[in-house]
Structure 1
Amino acid sequence: MLAYKVTPQEFQQIVTSSDVIYNTTTFCELNKKKVDYIDYLIVKKDESPRFAVIFGVKDSQASCPFSAPFGTLLPLKKSSSVENYDDALSAIDIYASDMGLKKIFFRIPPIFYEVNALTALVSSLFRHGYEVHDVDVNYAFNLYDVYENYDSIIHYNAKKNLRIALKSNLELQICNNEEDIISAYNIIAQNRSCKGYPLRMTQDQVLETLSVVAHDVFIVQHEGQGIASAIVYHVNDKIAQVIYWGDIPGVTHLKSINYLAYQLIQYYGAKGCQYLDIGPSTENSIPNYGLCDFKESIGCERSLKFAMEKCI
C-alpha cells in the first residue's frame, strides 16, 4: 500500500461518508490554526483507496486528532482485514519518514464506536511499534438497554436522587438561539471554575464549532433560573456525545445532573440513537474515582479509549 497526500477537496470526494464528525475536512479546517499544517492522507492499494487519515502536524509530530476528543484511521472498505491495517500502517511509516516527522500520535475513539475496526487498529498499532500513551476509561449510556429500562438499571442511590430531582420542579429547556447557548456555556464555566477543572474551549470556540457540527444544547431550569446545562454533539447517526455538562454551585440538593442524565436518555433514546457518550472519567489514565462511581451509578457502561504514539 502507498500513503499519499491529497487536498481537502480531494479527500472529501474520496471519503464520501465518515462515522465520526471529527474525521471530516470541515471540522479539521475549522481548527487548522492550532497546527503548522494538516496532511490529508489516502492509503491506496494499486489504484484503490483503502484507508484515510487526517493528521495535524506541529513541531514535527503528526497527531490524529489534533483538536478533538479522538480520531482514527478510516477504513474505506466494509471488510478490511487485520493484514490490511498492518499494510496501511507500514505505508504511513514510509510517509512519516519521507516527511521527516519525529513522532506519530493517535487518540482513537472508545472501542464501542466500532469494535471490529478499532480492535484491529489497536492491535496493528501495537505491533508496529506504537507505545501506549494513555488508556482511559470512557463512559456511555447504551440507550438500547437503558431507554425503556432505566429505573431497573441504575443504582439505589441514583434512584433516590432521581426521585428527588423529579420532585424539585425542574424543567428541561432546549436552546434554540445564541443567547441561550451562551447562557448554557456560562453555567459550564461556573461549574468548572468551582471544581478547579480546566475549560479547554472558549465561548467563541464553542460557538464556532457549533456552526459546523450538528448539536443540541440544554439548560435545566429551576424557578426561572438556569442551574445546569449540557452541550451535545451528534458524532454520527447513532451516537451523541456530551462535550460539556454541569451544574452551578449551591444546587446539588436539587440533583439536577441526575435529572439531566435521565432527560438526555429519554431525548436521544426517542430519536433512535444507540449510545450517549459522556466521556472519560480519567485524566492521563488516572481515574477520578468519584466521577467513575457517579457515572456507573446512573447507568453508564465502561469502555477503553487508547492513545498510542510512535517515535520515528
Structure 2
Amino acid sequence: MLVAVSQEEYRRRFTSDPHMFISETFIGMVENKCDRVVRLIKEDDSSMGLIAGIKDGVLKSPFSAPFGGFHYSHEHQFYYTISNFLIDLKEYVRKEGLEEVSVTLPPNLYQTNMNAKLVNAFIKIGFTMVTPDICNWADLKNFDGKWAKYVVEQNCRKAVKHGLSWSMVTDRDSMEEGYKVILRNREEQGRKIYMSLDDLLEMNRIVPVDFFCVKDSDGNVLGAGVFYRGHEKIVQGIFMGDDMEKRNLGIMNLMYKHCFYHYKDMGFDYIDLGTSSFEGEPNIGLIRFKELHNCLTSLRYTFSWTP
C-alpha cells in the first residue's frame, strides 16, 4: 500500500529528480496552488515515489507545471514494480475518498524506458488515456547548422538583410517588451499564458531563466523567447512568440538558429521546445515549423482514473 510521508523521509529515499518540475525547490514555489501536497511511497519498497497536489478532491501530478510524474531509484525498474505502484495508487485514491487521480508523464526525452513501461501499465490497469499531446525537441549533439529545408537559412538571411538582430537580454525593459510580444502572439492565436513576467523572474531564483529578443534596427522587439536551464543536458523553451504582422521577415527562424548555437556551445544536448498541441488538438502549422528546424516529434501522455 502507499503511504504519505514527510518531505524529509521522501528525500531520504529519492535524492535526485528526473526533471525540475518534481524538485523540492519548484514544488515549494507552487504548493500554494493546491490544497495540500502529498509525497507517496510504498511502505516496503523504495523503488518508486510520487509527489502530487490535491485540489478540489483531485490528486494531480503536476498541479502547476507542464508535466509531473514519478521519482524512481533508477530507470530500469522491473515492470511489476511499476504496475504494483499504480495498483496501489488507485487504492490510495479510493481509500482517501478522492474523486480522481491524474498524472502527466514527461516526454520521452526525459525518460524513455520508464515511459514505455508506465504507458503500458497505466492502460492495462484501467487508467484512461486522454489524447496525447504532441511534443517537439531538437538534438543539439547532431546540430551542424544544416536545416531540414533550405528555406530556413534563406529566411535567416532575409532577417539579417532587413536589419534584425538576436541577443540575450538581461535588463527589465527588454524582458518586458519581449514578454509583451509573446503575450500578444498568444492572444492573437486564442492561446492563454499562465505566467506573468514577475512569475518568470521569480522562477529565476531557483533555476536560470534566459530571455532572448530579436530586434529591428530601431531597437523594437519583434520576437522573444524564454528558456529554463533546469536540467543538466536539456534546456526548455518555455515561451516563444513573434510579431505576427512581421513574421514574414524570418523573426523566429533567426531566433531558433541562434538559440540552437547558443545552447550547443554551452554544452546542452537537447532543447525541449514543448507541446505543439493543446489538450490533444494539434497545431499543424507549429508542428511543421518546428520540424523544418530539425525538431523530432514525440508524445506526452496523461492518464486519469476515477473510482
Q: Do both proteins adopt the same fold according to a TM-score greater than 0.5, normalized to the shorter chain?
A: yes
Q: Is the 8 A contact 2:178 2:223 kept in 1?
A: yes
**What RMSD over aligned residues (CA atoms) do the two structures have, in Å?**
1.8
What is the correspondence of 1:96-111 to structure 2 with a 5 Å cutoff?
96-111=93-108
Which runs of 5 or more residues in structure 2 are unaligned?
A: none
Candidates 211, 230, 238, aligned match of 2:233 = 238
Cα deviation for residue 118 of structure 1 reads 1.0
Shift of 1:274: 1.7
Deviations 1:155-193 (A, max 9, x none): 133232122124333322222344443332122112222
Deviates more, 1:131-140 or 1:86-95: 86-95
Matches within 5 A, 1:1-312: 2-44=1-43, 46=44, 48-145=45-142, 147-148=143-144, 150-151=145-146, 153-223=147-217, 224-312=219-307
Structure 1 stretches of 5 or more lacking a match? none
* Offset, 1:263: 0.7
Alpha-carbon distance between aligned partners in 2 of 1:14 and 1:134, rounded to the nearest angstrom: 33
Measure, in 2, the Cα distance between the counterparts of 1:183 and 1:51.
Answer: 43
Q: Give the whole-Å Cα distance in 2 for the aligned partners of 1:232 and 1:12.
A: 27
Question: Aligned letter for 2:278?
Answer: E
1:241 Cα deviation after fit: 1.0
1:5/1:179 CA distance change after superposition, 3 Å: farther
User: Normalising by the residue count of structure 1, what TM-score does the alignment of the two structures yield?
Assistant: 0.91
Report deviation, 1:78: 4.8
What SS class does the counterpart of residue 134 from structure 1 fall into? coil
SS of equivalent to 2:130 = strand
Q: Tell me, what secondary structure is at the counterpart of 2:141?
A: helix
> What residue identity is the alignment partner of 1:282?
S
The alpha carbon displacement at 1:30 in A equals: 1.2
- Quickly say closer, same or farther: Cα 1:172–1:10, change in 2 above 3 A: farther
User: Distance in 2 between the 1:9 and 1:251 partners?
Assistant: 52
Task: Report if aligned partners of 1:184, 1:228 keep a CA contact under 8 Å in 2.
Answer: yes
What secondary structure sits across from 1:84 in the alignment? helix
Q: Distance in 1 between matches of 2:171 and 2:72?
A: 37
**Contact 1:12 / 1:25 at 8 angstroms: preserved in 2?**
no
Give the TM-score, by structure 2 length. 0.93
